[in-house]
Structure formats: structure tokens, C-alpha cells
């Protein structure tokens, strides 16, 4: 959580929502990594990995959806700034121990504000796309563990999740 002296930057002194003015901030190289998972029946995982989902290539479609979502975060999340992203990657790996798929997104920008929301949005939408494309096989899939793993750049510097 926030440390001593931290305050909510998206609220005015009277509690009104506002977009933070980043015009006076220095541009720095910023990077964020987020993760999430979709847990499913083992048969569902095998169908996805073998390319037997009726809607098509689940993994490729989820990667593209995650990348597109990162680029549109400012349209989806109120008060986020539109950013000219320099890199977005979405990696999806099978994890038979879940069983399911682990999704990781990395987002980079040279700018005045961070890309944590873009990385989290990429993971969230990739997970939603996996669910959408495989729900005919398994309506009981669970999206979980969506969280920020790491961020670098900006005045606050680097941050890393415990254990990452």
C-alpha cells in the first residue's frame, strides 16, 4: 500500500475526479510487467494447445487482443493518459499444474507517466479472450492472479512484487 504521506493523485482537494497533469514531469524510460492466469479443465487446455477450439487459434487471438487492449487503455480506464507505447508483448504459456494458461504482458514507453495500467489491461483482456474463445468447452474457467509484477522508471523509481 502507499507509504506515509502518500495521497490519491486522481482526486482534487474536494474529492472530485481529475486527470493528473503530467506536463511538468520529466520523460523517462518506463516499463511494466503484469501477469494473470486462466484455470481450466485439463481437456480444455489440451484442446487449446492442439488447435481444436471451434473459434480458432486461441493463443494468437489472445495475444493480439492483449496488445490492442494495452494501446486502448486510455479509452477503457477513466483518467488514464493516451500514450505512444514503444513495446507491448503478451506471452501465454501452458501450466499443466493449474491446469491452464499463464499470461504475462510487458509494456514500455518513453514518457511522463507509467504503463502499469497498460500492462494490467493487456493481461486482463488476453485472459478474457481466452475465456471467450474456449467457453464452449469449459464455462467454469477461472481468471485469477492478475497483478503487477514489476515497474521501472519515473520519479518513484523501480518496484517489484514480492517473490518476483
Positions marked catalytic: 132
Query: Of 117, 119, 92, which is closest to residue 38 (Cα–Cα)?
Result: 92
Return the residue matching grid coordinates 484455470. Answer: 39
Q: Which positions ≥6 away from 14 have C-beta within 8 Å?
A: none
* Residues 153/83, Cβ–Cβ less than 8 Å: no
Amino acid at each position: 500500500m502507499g507509504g506515509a504521506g502518500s495521497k490519491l493523485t486522481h482526486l482534487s482537494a474536494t474529492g472530485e475526479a481529475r486527470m493528473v497533469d503530467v506536463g511538468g514531469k520529466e520523460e523517462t524510460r518506463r516499463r511494466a510487467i503484469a501477469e494473470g492466469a486462466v484455470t481450466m479443465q485439463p481437456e480444455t487446455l489440451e484442446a487449446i494447445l492442439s488447435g481444436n477450439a471451434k473459434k480458432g487459434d486461441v493463443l494468437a487471438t489472445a495475444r493480439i487482443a492483449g496488445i490492442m487492449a494495452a494501446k486502448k487503455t486510455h479509452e477503457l480506464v477513466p483518467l488514464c493518459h493516451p500514450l505512444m507505447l514503444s513495446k507491448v508483448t503478451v506471452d501465454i504459456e501452458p501450466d499443466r499444474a493449474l491446469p491452464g494458461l499463464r499470461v504475462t504482458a510487458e509494456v514500455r514507453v518513453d514518457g511522463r507517466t507509467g504503463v502499469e495500467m497498460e500492462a494490467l489491461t493487456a493481461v486482463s483482456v488476453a485472459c478474457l479472450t481466452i475465456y471467450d474463445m474456449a467457453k464452449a468447452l469449459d464455462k467454469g474457467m477461472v481468471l485469477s492472479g492478475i497483478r503487477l509484477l514489476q515497474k521501472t522508471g519515473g520519479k518513484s523509481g523501480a518496484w517489484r512484487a514480492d517473490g518476483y
